[in-house]
Structure 1
Amino acid sequence: MRNFMSKKLLILSEVFHPENFVINDLAMHWAEEGCECEVLTRVPSYPAGMPLKGYRNRIYQKTHSFGLPVHRVGIVSGYQRNLVRKMLNYMNFCFLTTMMLLFRGNRYDRIFVYQTGPLTVALAAVISRMLYRQKVIIWSQDLWPDTVFAYGFRKTRLRMVMLNVFVKWIYKRCDIIMVSSEGFIDKIRKMVPGSEVIYVPNWPDINCKRVGIKSLPEGFNFTFAGNVGKVQNLRNVLAGFALFAEKNHPNAWLNIIGDGSNLKALKSLVEEKKIPNVNFTGFRPPNEMPSYFAASDVLVISLNDAPLFELIVPLKFHSYLTASRPIYAIVNGEVTRLVKRYSLGVSADPSDIESISGGFERLYYASQTELKNYSANAAGMTRNGYSKEKNIAMITSILWPSEIGLKQADLHRAM
């Protein structure tokens, strides 16, 4: 396999090791296979919006991960605290990475863009392609412009036109577009007819190996884990759990593991409404999550009721599957379709408090046989649909098709 990786690759991503994302698995694999590869990213700062321990917020610094050179640009500290800082941070990343590629872009034969947030992350790659004629491959984890409005921006005609022009301009200049959700394909093809759009699902971004034993309250434990923001719809989840708890379920617990912009408000809500049996653990390291999952009876995934979130399959879903636990999907669209199709658990309408309460009740009173079946189905889906090895091989084939004698048509048949 090493022979086909003779051309130099740049990974362009806002996030990278030590932040916990699947791009790390790809970079590690390509490094092990002898790929001449470098990374252009920012100072690690997720999820707090501040430089992680051991890193300084400099305009530029060079580090190494997995034996690969990693070029890091500075951030606008505290970008998670408010919208203005967040927008400035996006613009800062665009400017600094574009400046770097104006002078370094000719060193690379292809650029792989890992897009987890705004599509502006790809701007530097597209400009470099225009100057130096590299091949640009993007793996979109998010769908623009839908995401902009789903996160609270007011939808105006002018804003919609400007964003659509920008999105089309970016995608037209990508040689191959990969997407993490099948729901993205039609939307992108309508915007950019004739574009090469390939579905490549994510895989779990945590190691399923348990580190120690993590205890949760004694009883039946529902667990939500991940970013605690407004789009996670946890106000409605708490309201549904409160309604469920009123029906005398003293040993049922809702655990919220994670940190985010909405955590403080949710804690105040629980205190104000006197919602019983809600356990906030705060942020926990990724290597501890398998142990928390193992201590849970049901894992909860929730998102606001918005058209965009009907298309998305969050990374959290893949991580939950590795735990082989029943899933409670409080979300419409693709995730609920998967939960129902593969019998992974129960779903509820994210806007309907009664429906959310009813879902808690159904799972609480489910038989052990039913719960074990959900768990077994989750384990089977991880092996067959979201295998890390299988999907890394697929992405590798997309980046280097001619070098290994694989045509695009063969890729589609393989998928």
Structure 2
Amino acid sequence: MQDKSILIIGEAFFPEEFVINDLAKYWKNNGYSVEVLTRTPSYPFGKTFSGYKNSIYQKTYFENIPIHRVPVIQGYQKSKVIKILNYVSFVFFASIVALFIGRRFDKIFVYQTGPLTVALPGVLIKKLYNKNLTIWTQDLWPDTVYAYGFKPNRLLDTVLNTLVKLVYNSSDKIAVSCKGFAPKINAYLKSEKVISWIPNWSIISKSASNKLNFSGEINFTFAGNIGKVQNLDKVLLGFSKAVKEFPEAYLNIVGDGSSLEDLRSLVEEEKIPNVNFIGRKPLSEMPDYFEASDVLLISLVDAPIYEIMIPSKFQTYLQYKKPIFAVMKGEVPNLLSEFHLGLSADSNDIDMIGDRFKEMMSLSKIELDEMSLSAQTLLFQYFDRNKNLMKLSEITLD
């Protein structure tokens, strides 16, 4: 095999828990020289992780993979201004590092989980050093910008559309984590390109190591980031309607994020019973919580972009063969219906959310188990780790 060197560029990398860590190790273990350009780890809290310095530049290692880190502006989870400053800061500092190290790599791989601006250092290397550039898009701009709450206007539209055209027309290969992204990206391309659908796979796969016993007869569990877009306020209000008739039902929320304290206040103000805020847990402990649950919950606000998205927790939930309750519209409810894996509700309709909670609370253990029988089929068909690692390698390294 010919030696190849790869630079991965992205906002997130170990110790932050993303699928890119797995991909980097896979390439390293298959004989490729891999390095990473990212920022100081801070997700999801918006604060520098313990053991790391928020320096102008620092070099760390993960599984013998060199990681070039640039600073993060802390507090971005609760401020749009700081969030935008972070985008600019990353582009500025990462581009400086890219100028010094970019020439020595054969391939540039952009892992875009949030802002599309993260790709600009990769575009710079492409333009200056004529390197092959691949982007794996996890979040669709400009749609996500508007879904987050920014109001469309002529200036913002012009800036975002120019950015999107620049990034995707500069990329040699394009992969998307959600099938619905492809036609939207295609509209910005000057010439025809193949856009490969390569979804995420579960980064948690082991069995439970400690048997947990939740309170109650039926337990719903949400796991992951707790922010504005997760729509958990409406989920809680829907649950409050159902739990009155099913006092042995519990809702467990595992995770942390910018909306956690607001949700705690909502539970207290509305006197919603049987809600457990468990806090953030390491990935190694999450199988214990999934195995102890009867139904796994996924929720997103009502926005067109989220109708074509498959959040990465969906693949993880499938791994544990539990019924899924989706409070959202679009692709995920469609898959639940097609494979008979659970129920869904409109993310804006609190009464409907409550009714679906009641419907699932009414099911027996046997009926709940039957609801998840097709999880393995769906996992293998679309979200198989080995298949998707090979697909990413084929489009990036060929």
Counterpart Cα distance in 1 of 2:213 and 2:15 = 26
Structure 1 residue aligned with 2:85: 88
The match for 1:226 among 221, 224, 227 is 224
Structure 1 stretches of 4+ moved >4 Å:
none
The match for 2:319 among 301, 319, 322 is 322
Structure 1 residue aligned with 2:350: 353
The match for 2:194 among 171, 193, 196 is 196
* Mapped contact 2:16–2:43 kept (Cα < 8 A): yes
Amino acid at match of 2:310: V
| C-alpha distance after superposition, 1:23-66 (max 9, x if no partner) | 01111111111101111111111111112121111111111112
Pick which of 361-370 and 163-172 moved more: 361-370
Return the TM-score normalized by structure 1. Answer: 0.93
Residue 340, structure 1, aligned to residue 341, structure 2 = no
* Mapped contact 2:321–2:376 kept (Cα < 8 A): yes
Q: How far apart are residue 67 of structure 1 and its match?
A: 1.4
Root-mean-square deviation over aligned CA pairs: 1.2
Q: How far apart are residue 337 of structure 1 and its match?
A: 1.0
* Mapped contact 2:246–2:361 kept (Cα < 8 A): no
Structure 2 residue aligned with 1:364: 361
Counterpart Cα distance in 1 of 2:391 and 2:61 = 26
Structure 2 residue aligned with 1:238: 236
Structure 2 residue aligned with 1:169: 166
Return the TM-score normalized by structure 2. Answer: 0.97
Alignment map for 1:204-353 (pairs within 5 Å): 204-246=202-244, 248-353=245-350
Counterpart Cα distance in 1 of 2:213 and 2:379 = 25
Counterpart Cα distance in 1 of 2:339 and 2:154 = 40
Amino acid at match of 1:309: Y
Counterpart Cα distance in 2 of 1:30 and 1:355 = 46
Structure 2 residue aligned with 1:113: 110
Identity level (%): 48
Amino acid at match of 2:327: I
Counterpart Cα distance in 1 of 2:18 and 2:378 = 20
The match for 2:385 among 381, 388, 393 is 388
Pick which of 122-131 and 84-93 moved more: 84-93
Can you give the 5+ residue segments of structure 2 that lack an aligned partner in the other structure? Answer: none
Residue 28, structure 1, aligned to residue 25, structure 2 = yes
| CA separation of 1:234 and 1:337: change in aligned 2, threshold 3 A | same
Amino acid at match of 1:171: Y
Q: How far apart are residue 78 of structure 1 and its match?
A: 2.2
Amino acid at match of 1:34: G
| CA separation of 1:35 and 1:393: change in aligned 2, threshold 3 A | same
* Mapped contact 1:49–1:80 kept (Cα < 8 A): yes
Pick which of 135-144 and 6-15 moved more: 6-15
Can you give the 5+ residue segments of structure 1 that lack an aligned partner in the other structure? Answer: 402-415
Counterpart Cα distance in 1 of 2:59 and 2:107 = 20
- Indicate the SS of the match to 2:373: helix
* Mapped contact 1:208–1:322 kept (Cα < 8 A): no
Counterpart Cα distance in 1 of 2:320 and 2:123 = 39
- Indicate the SS of the match to 1:375: coil
- Indicate the SS of the match to 1:191: coil
The match for 1:397 among 367, 391, 394 is 394
